[in-house]
Structure 1
Amino acid sequence: MATLTLENAKVLVIGGSSGFGEAVGRHAAAADARVTLASRSADKLRAAAGRIGGQCATAVLDVRDGGAIDNFFAGQEPFDHIVLTAGQLPPPGPLSLEHMKEQADARFWSAVHIARGARFNPGGSLTLVTGSATLRPPKGIAVLSAIGAAVNALSRGLALEMAPVRVNTVIPGPADTPLWDGMPPEQRTARLEQIGKGLPLGRVGTADDVARQIIACMLNPFMTGSLVVLDGGASI
């Protein structure tokens, strides 16, 4: 039976070099899990692992490459928990068909390959992360919203097909993460404050807010097929 602890659990965080993923890795490591961070950038992974400290391992993995995902899991022992937070912002302006396909590979097909290739220990879980645009898409990102919504639907189907492995999806709302780093600092601060004022809680989320919910998905042995909206009340 699953235990309500991460002590000595083997946790893989794909997209773990920054933002939500790094925060998950930090919280899991603090709970004495054996954490592996995976992403495309070796430099960013080393920096994130250094910030987390301890015995945090890293693995370079491009989630847009289904073959690379398959090969990675072929050489791995079973995991207790896997988290997929990977995803990058597309270039500004209208998306080309090529960029749309890249986004689908990074966000949807990566989850499919992980579900097919990963092995889990008893009591294991897979947690996916999308975003509130999947529920209430803003103008201009219809394709990205649809890709995320497909992940939401996929996770519920996987909860049946992968049982007793538990599969859940966390759906964050606006959050202060490195995805905003492209803005000048003053503009970024002003924009996040403006967004936060429109929420019932009066602020945007943080990476730690989202990480705590992901950890909860790992630890609750009766939780599967859930879509957890974590948007500070934006959808009310």
Structure 2
Amino acid sequence: MPLSPSSPYPSFAGLRIVVMGGSSGIGEAAARAFAAAGADVVITGRSKARLDAAAERIGHPVTAVEADATSAGSIAACFEAVGRLDHPVLALSSGAVGLGPFAELAEADLRTAFDGKLFAHFAVLRAALPRLREDGSVTFVTAASARAALPGSSGLAAVNGALEAAVPPLAAELAPLRINAVSPGVVDTAWWSGMPDADRAAFFAGVAAALPVGRVGTPEDVAQAIAYLAGNGFTTGTVLDCAGGATLATGR
């Protein structure tokens, strides 16, 4: 796929990209990257107001479609409105639900986390299949917690680990459709907004000091990885780390 002359990403001119969970953070950055590369971009989310605000920030023409990925009826209506698909990106999440010490982890929260991510990704993929280009791609957004040993993250590790484990068999079963995932580490997004500003800054500083790259991630870092997976027709069944070296055994 050729590079776009006005963008660091491959050209996606004329292709339909749907970013599920595109109203903020990584999803919004991915939508911006694809739109800058000429794609026909649709962003979805549960709040029309947030989608409209994201569309304004993106700065390129995008279409906003309200959709709840935990509702079968809402997903069906969304894809009916979207039509054909080339490269959907599934950046779905129930937020920080399921984060916390294992002894205090409520079963209801863990089930909510699975519903909002694993089951939502599966339901959206199943609904998208009839509209997907045969040799297109699907990119999941998971998290490096799946393969890290961070105290207090067992719930999130279980959810993301389950989704990442499904990538290779899905790629084999659904070929020539390509199935991949980007697995971000700590990225400076609103996902962390539940922490007081000072605590968040201190946490980010501590993470940056421990990472080989010396900083936390940005949504644009992850968007570049998503664009790579969508644009590289020889990559499938891959979980691509975009975590600044968080899962490396560096001794740091």
**Shared fold (TM-score greater than 0.5)?**
yes
Q: Runs of 4 or more off by more than 6 Å in structure 1?
A: none
State the match for 1:105 in structure 2.
Answer: 115
State the match for 2:165 in structure 1.
Answer: 153
Shift of 1:91: 7.2
Per-residue CA deviation, residues 137-169 of structure 1 (Å, 9 max, x unaligned), is: 422232321111110011222111221111001
Shift of 1:97: 2.3
Shift of 1:122: 4.2
State the Cα RMSD in Å: 1.8
1:121 to 2:133 alignment = yes
Structure 2 gaps, min length 5: 3-9
The equivalent position to 2:41 in structure 1, one of 15, 35, 39, is 35
Shift of 1:57: 0.6
Name the aligned partner's letter for residue 28 of structure 1. Answer: F
State the match for 2:144 in structure 1.
Answer: 132
Distance 1:75 1:32 in 2: 20
Alignment of 1:192-207 (within 5 A): 192-207=204-219
Aligned residues: 235
Asked if the contact 1:64/1:102 (under 8 Å) is kept, the reply is no
Per-residue CA deviation, residues 190-221 of structure 1 (Å, 9 max, x unaligned), is: 22111101111111111100000000000000
After superposing the two structures, state which structure 1 stretch, 205-214 or 147-156, moved more. Answer: 147-156
SS of residue matched to 1:190: helix
Per-residue CA deviation, residues 46-105 of structure 1 (Å, 9 max, x unaligned), is: 110011133211111112223422343245422111111111121775343222222111
Distance 2:109 2:26 in 1: 23
Identity of aligned residues (%): 36
Distance 2:115 2:161 in 1: 14
After superposing the two structures, state which structure 1 stretch, 122-131 or 208-217, moved more. Answer: 122-131
Alignment of 1:17-96 (within 5 A): 17-87=23-93, 88-90=95-97, 94-96=104-106
Name the aligned partner's letter for residue 183 of structure 1. Answer: M
SS of residue matched to 2:135: strand
State the match for 2:193 in structure 1.
Answer: 181
State the match for 1:165 in structure 2.
Answer: 177
Distance 2:122 2:84 in 1: 17
Per-residue CA deviation, residues 95-132 of structure 1 (Å, 9 max, x unaligned), is: 43222222111111112112211121243110001111
Distance 1:216 1:7 in 2: 15
Name the aligned partner's letter for residue 167 of structure 2. Answer: S
State the match for 1:9 in structure 2.
Answer: 15
Distance 1:209 1:201 in 2: 12
Distance 1:111 1:214 in 2: 16
TM-score, L = length of structure 2? 0.87
Where is the strand percentage greater, Structure 1 or Structure 2? 1
Distance 1:91 1:233 in 2: 24
Distance 1:99 1:206 in 2: 27
State the match for 1:208 in structure 2.
Answer: 220
